[in-house]
């Protein structure tokens, strides 16, 4: 008897497989952007495994951390450097994938009813990954690790009433110190990954329940129009994945500087502030919104919080009955302005916040919020047009 | 076709972002560094021919009190401990510095160390008793004994490690931290990873003239030739990134592997989708 039969008798794997993979249909009119969810799962697996190997040699102690990373792992352990490079590049690239995944969701209206649950769990994943990246960045205990953590935790001082106590509670000390390192370590290697795994499971389950959206935002009759997930959709998925892997490995071996800042190869020095402090590229846009309102720190802080939260409310800001942006000319304009604006904010986030850059920053921050304000308006206009019958049956 | 268009848009956005953040913004932030000047043009020109034989005698009577020259079997008259108590820094062995320092710099340095190094507190005293001819003789002597085919590591040992430690190479600064702090106001940073935390252009400019990058810094200008500077930087880069060669080699194989993966998965997808597209 073949092993597979043996398993089948005990776990009914054939039936499970057929039910969940072959009979599961996805729309035919979806492009490779719908592969990014699986790419994200794949990228997370890469991070998990490379992180596990790093964990075998990493020492969470302010006196040992820097050398354990930069000497032990990077120089002494055979192929230790691969795991560090993979982990650093993976952490950076997962944000690129997430941004593309989110932009896909926005453009094709994937957050709309009935996919609000998918959207919200996705949003929670984004926040969890942000927290994981932030805590992880402190671990090598380099100059930028130290000062980025110092700067960001200082923001919590502005919380009314409890601000100052809160900062000390987060840091475990008056400044970033050994106590901060050990608690960030605990969060980064245990707590947050566990939450992420659970949330990914719920996110995927929610996608299964409501089914994938598609380019036209149309509900499909899966019996007639869908293609089987296995092997048809997966064969494309593997192809996309292997192209991604090619790109990813190129970065890991030949173009990793963007994910491993030179400044962070200096050991943390609490007595010496680096000339420039900036977060990793994926936080630059929010950082710029924070600085954008240069005339008022408090306003900047509120804007910063809003910029990270607003995106969760898209399903309720955009109530247009037309689902896919493909059929919404006004929305398309807003979308592309938003994308370009986000890119500009990201670049500004690393530029000195003075002179003309400060004004561009303010302006770009306002446009950022303009997108969210424009959505209800565009929805209203579209609803009206629909009622007047100006739009055709494409919807 | 449509999918290519989407890919193209993503590629353009990513490349624009990369250029904007890592190149444009980075450059705006750190600005342009001054170019290194390996001719040390601010120092006086000299055209005196020196005599190495006389130079040796002059060395023994004027320099050997502090400096050794091991290549010729000459030991300094004071040991390292006495020297650092007196000067807060151990004077370097001069066997090979004659080849590593620009001759024009060396001449001006002996004449007036504080001026040449741009460090008013530089520990070696100026020697008023020496004429220009004497100095030229000493320079000629130092050049004649120096080994021309020195390595980057030699430069590090002869010119840097009296102040700097290189912990990952198990090199401890010849001078104690306590003295260095007295002398320089701070313990000079460890050089183990400087080849990675700074780029080549920065190191070249900084080592050539520390004041041009960090005004007021206590690291002296050392007067290294272009060759010696490049060698020591290459060495620093090598020890900061010891697996570079291995990485490039493994990287090629990894890309070949991934490329084969692309071809195979593409073939499989083609086969499966033939039935669907119909
Ligand atoms: C690492 C984090 C994430 C993972 C592993 C992940 C995984 C997935 C997977 C496997 C799918 C189904 C395939 C696809 O449509 O691409 C999916 C769909 C989706 N995800 Fe995520 N996701 C993540 C983050 C997010 C974020 C941050 C958001 C938005 C805030 C989000 C929103 C969505 C939406 C709306 C869909 C449904 C798309 C549709 O049906 O058109 N996801 N996700």
In sequence order, which residues have a C-beta less than 8 Å from that of residue B171 and are 6 or more positions away?
A: B156, B157, B161, B165
- Among protein residues, the one with the nearest Cα to ligand 1's atom 12 is A37
Closest CA to A93 of A247, A286, A272, A293: A247
The alpha carbon of residue B4 is apart from the nearest alpha carbon of chain A, in Å, by 10
- A307 CA distance to ligand 1 middle (Å): 20
**Largest CA-CA distance found in chain B, in angstroms, rounded:** 98
- Decide if B245 touches A, using CB distance below 8 A: no
Q: With beta carbons under 8 A apart, name residues in chain A contacting B265.
A: 235, 238-239, 241-242
Share of chain A above pLDDT 70, in %: 98
What is the domain partition of chain B in residue ranges? 1-32, 33-240, 244-278
Please check the confidence at residue A312 and state whether its pLDDT lies above 70. yes
Chain B's closest residue to A266, CA to CA, is: B197
The alpha carbon of residue A168 is apart from the nearest alpha carbon of chain B, in Å, by 30
Please check the confidence at residue B31 and state whether its pLDDT lies above 90. no
**Rounded Cα gap, residues B9 and A390, in angstroms:** 31
Please check the confidence at residue B277 and state whether its pLDDT lies above 90. no
Please check the confidence at residue A392 and state whether its pLDDT lies above 60. no
Residue A395's pLDDT band, with cuts at 50, 70 and 90, is: very low
> pLDDT tens digit string along A318-365?
999 999 999 999 999 999 999 999 999 999 999 998 889 999 999 999
The residue whose two tokens read 């076709």 is B1
Please check the confidence at residue B227 and state whether its pLDDT lies above 60. yes
| Termini Cα distance of chain B | 18
Chain A's closest residue to B277, CA to CA, is: A28
Mark yes or no for CB contact B258/A32 under 8 Å: no
Q: With beta carbons under 8 A apart, name residues in chain B contacting A263.
A: 197
Please check the confidence at residue B278 and state whether its pLDDT lies above 80. no
- Identify the residues whose C-beta falls under 6 Å from ligand 1: A 34, 36-38, 40-41, 44, 98, 101-102, 105, 108, 110-111, 115, 118-119, 122-123, 125-126, 129, 200, 203-204, 207, 212-213
- Among protein residues, the one with the nearest Cα to ligand 1's atom 6 is A37
The alpha carbon of residue A361 is apart from the nearest alpha carbon of chain B, in Å, by 14
Cβ-based contacts under 8 A for chains A and B = 119
* Ligand 1 pocket test target in A122, A133, A195, A312 with most atoms within 8 Å of CB: A122
- B204 CA distance to ligand 1 middle (Å): 48
- A101 CA distance to ligand 1 middle (Å): 6
Beta carbons of A303 and A365 less than 8 angstroms apart: yes
Beta carbons of B72 and B195 less than 8 angstroms apart: no
Q: What is the pLDDT of residue A390?
A: 61
Q: What is the pLDDT of residue B173?
A: 97
Q: What is the pLDDT of residue A166?
A: 96
Task: Work out the average pLDDT over A197-219.
Answer: 94
Mark yes or no for CB contact A258/B22 under 8 Å: yes
- Among protein residues, the one with the nearest Cα to ligand 1's atom 30 is A123
> pLDDT tens digit string along A174-191?
999 999 999 999 999 999
Mark yes or no for CB contact B20/A343 under 8 Å: yes
Domains along chain A?
A: 2-277 (1.20.810.10), 285-395 (no CATH)
The alpha carbon of residue B189 is apart from the nearest alpha carbon of chain A, in Å, by 9
ipTM of the complex: 0.94
Strand locations in A62-117 (E): none
- In a 3-state reduction of DSSP, which class is residue B69? strand
- Residue among A31, A82, A100 whose CB faces B3 most closely: A31
Q: With beta carbons under 8 A apart, name residues in chain B contacting A249.
A: 251, 254-255, 258
Helix A297-309 to helix A355-388 angle (10° resolution) is: 40
> pLDDT tens digit string along A52-82?
999 999 999 999 999 999 999 999 999 999 9
- A44 CA distance to ligand 1 middle (Å): 13
Q: What is the pLDDT of residue B47?
A: 87
Mark yes or no for CB contact B251/A252 under 8 Å: yes
The atom of ligand 1 lying closest to the CA of A30 is: 41
> pLDDT tens digit string along B201-218?
999 999 999 999 999 999
Phi-psi region of A89 (alpha: psi -120 to 50; beta: other; left: phi over 0): alpha
Mark yes or no for CB contact A249/B269 under 8 Å: no
Q: Which of A35, A39, A75 is best to mutate for the B interface (most B CBs within 10 A)?
A: A75
Q: With beta carbons under 8 A apart, name residues in chain B contacting A351.
A: 25, 28-29
Task: Work out the average pLDDT over B77-94.
Answer: 95
- A218 CA distance to ligand 1 middle (Å): 18
Burial of B31 (0-12, 13-18, 19+ CB in 10 A): exposed
pTM recorded for the entire structure: 0.94
- In chain B, residues 185-244 whose CB comes closer than 8 Å to chain A: 189, 192-193, 196-199, 240, 242-243
Tokens of A168: 């000390």
Q: Go through A281-314 and write b for each residue having 16 or more CB atoms within 10 A of its CB, e for each that does not.
A: bbbbbbbbbbbbbbeeeeebbebbeebbebbbeb
- B172 CA distance to ligand 1 middle (Å): 53
Please check the confidence at residue A391 and state whether its pLDDT lies above 90. no
The alpha carbon of residue B253 is apart from the nearest alpha carbon of chain A, in Å, by 10
- What's chain A's average pLDDT? 94
Q: Which of B16, B18, B25 is best to mutate for the A interface (most A CBs within 10 A)?
A: B25
Q: What is the pLDDT of residue A88?
A: 98
Share of chain A above pLDDT 90, in %: 87
CA dist A51 to A73, A75, A133, A138, B75, Å? Answer: 12, 17, 12, 14, 53
Mark yes or no for CB contact B193/A239 under 8 Å: no
Mark yes or no for CB contact A238/B196 under 8 Å: no
Chain B's closest residue to A257, CA to CA, is: B22
What's the residue count for chain B? 278
- Residue among B16, B198, B272 whose CB faces A343 most closely: B16
> pLDDT tens digit string along B160-207?
999 999 999 999 999 999 999 999 999 999 999 999 999 999 999 999
- Decide if B128 touches A, using CB distance below 8 A: no
Closest CA to A179 of A272, A60, A51, A270: A60
Burial of B90 (0-12, 13-18, 19+ CB in 10 A): buried
Mark yes or no for CB contact B7/A32 under 8 Å: yes
- Among protein residues, the one with the nearest Cα to ligand 1's atom 9 is A37
Q: In this structure, are strands A227-228 and A25-26 parallel, antiparallel, or unpaired?
A: antiparallel
> pLDDT tens digit string along A220-236?
877 777 889 989 999 99
- Decide if B261 touches A, using CB distance below 8 A: yes
In sequence order, which residues have a C-beta less than 8 Å from that of residue A104 and are 6 or more positions away?
A: A33, A34, A36, A110
Task: Work out the average pLDDT over B65-93.
Answer: 95
Beta carbons of B159 and B100 less than 8 angstroms apart: yes
């Amino acid at each position: 008897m073949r092993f597979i039969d043996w398993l089948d008798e005990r776990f009914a794997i054939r039936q499970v497989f057929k039910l969940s993979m072959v009979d599961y249909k996805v729309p035919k009119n979806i492009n490779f952007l719908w592969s990014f969810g699986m790419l994200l799962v794949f990228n997370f697996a890469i991070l998990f495994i490379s992180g596990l190997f790093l964990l075998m040699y990493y020492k969470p102690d302010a006196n040992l951390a820097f050398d354990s990373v930069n000497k032990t792992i990077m120089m002494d352990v055979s192929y230790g450097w691969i795991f560090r490079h993979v982990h650093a590049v993976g952490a950076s690239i997962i944000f690129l994938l997430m941004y593309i995944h989110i932009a896909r969701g926005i453009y094709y209206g994937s957050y709309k009813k009935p996919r609000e649950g998918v959207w919200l769990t996705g949003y929670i994943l984004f926040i969890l990954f942000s927290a994981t990246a932030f805590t992880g960045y402190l671990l090598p205990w380099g100059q930028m690790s130290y000062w980025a953590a110092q700067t960001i935790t200082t923001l919590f001082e502005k919380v009314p009433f409890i601000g100052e106590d809160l900062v000390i509670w987060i840091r475990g000390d008056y400044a970033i110190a050994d106590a901060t390192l050990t608690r960030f370590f605990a969060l980064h290697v245990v707590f947050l990954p566990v939450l992420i795994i659970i949330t990914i499971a719920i996110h995927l389950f929610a996608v299964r329940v409501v089914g994938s959206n598609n380019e036209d935002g149309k509900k499909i009759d899966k019996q007639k129009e869908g293609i089987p997930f296995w092997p048809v959709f997966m064969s494309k998925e593997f192809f996309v994945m292997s192209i991604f892997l090619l790109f990813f490995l190129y970065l890991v071996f030949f173009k990793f500087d963007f994910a491993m800042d030179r400044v962070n190869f200096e050991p943390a020095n609490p007595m010496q502030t680096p000339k420039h402090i900036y977060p990793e590229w994926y936080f630059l846009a929010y950082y710029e919104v924070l600085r954008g309102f240069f005339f008022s720190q408090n306003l900047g802080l509120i804007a910063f919080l809003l910029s990270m939260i607003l995106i969760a409310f898209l399903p309720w800001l955009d109530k247009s009955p037309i689902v896919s942006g493909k059929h919404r000319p006004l929305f398309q304009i807003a979308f592309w302005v938003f994308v370009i604006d986000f890119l500009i904010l990201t670049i500004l986030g690393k530029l000195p916040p003075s002179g003309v850059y400060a004004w561009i920053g303010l302006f770009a921050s306002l446009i950022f919020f303009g997108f969210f304000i424009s959505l209800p308006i565009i929805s209203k206009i579209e609803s009206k047009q629909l009622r007047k019958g100006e739009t055709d049956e494409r919807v | 076709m449509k999918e290519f268009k989407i890919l193209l848009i993503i590629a353009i956005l990513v490349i624009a972002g990369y250029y904007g953040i890592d190149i444009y913004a980075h450059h705006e932030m750190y600005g342009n560094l001054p170019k290194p000047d390996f001719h040390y043009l601010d120092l006086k020109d000299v055209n005196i021919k020196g005599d190495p034989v006389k130079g040796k005698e002059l060395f023994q009577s004027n320099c050997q009190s502090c400096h050794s020259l091991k290549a010729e079997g000459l030991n300094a008259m004071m040991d390292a401990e006495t020297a650092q108590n007196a000067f807060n820094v151990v004077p370097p062995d001069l066997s090979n510095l004659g080849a590593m320092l620009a001759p024009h710099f060396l001449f001006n340095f002996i004449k007036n160390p504080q001026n040449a190094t741009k460090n008013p507190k530089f520990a070696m005293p100026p020697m008023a008793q020496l004429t220009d001819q004497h100095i030229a003789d000493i320079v000629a002597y130092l050049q004649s004994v120096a080994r021309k085919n020195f390595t980057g590591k030699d430069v590090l040992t002869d010119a840097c490690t009296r102040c700097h430690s290189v912990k990952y190479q198990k090199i401890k600064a010849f001078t104690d931290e306590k003295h260095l702090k007295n002398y320089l106001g701070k313990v000079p940073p460890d050089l183990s990873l400087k080849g990675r935390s700074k780029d080549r252009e920065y190191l070249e400019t900084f080592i050539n003239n520390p004041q041009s990058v960090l005004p007021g810094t206590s690291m002296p200008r050392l007067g290294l030739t272009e060759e010696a500077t490049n060698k020591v930087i290459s060495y620093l880069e090598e020890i900061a990134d010891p697996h570079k060669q291995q990485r490039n080699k493994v990287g090629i194989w990894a890309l070949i592997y991934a490329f084969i993966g692309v071809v195979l998965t593409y073939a499989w997808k083609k086969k499966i989708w033939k039935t669907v597209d119909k």
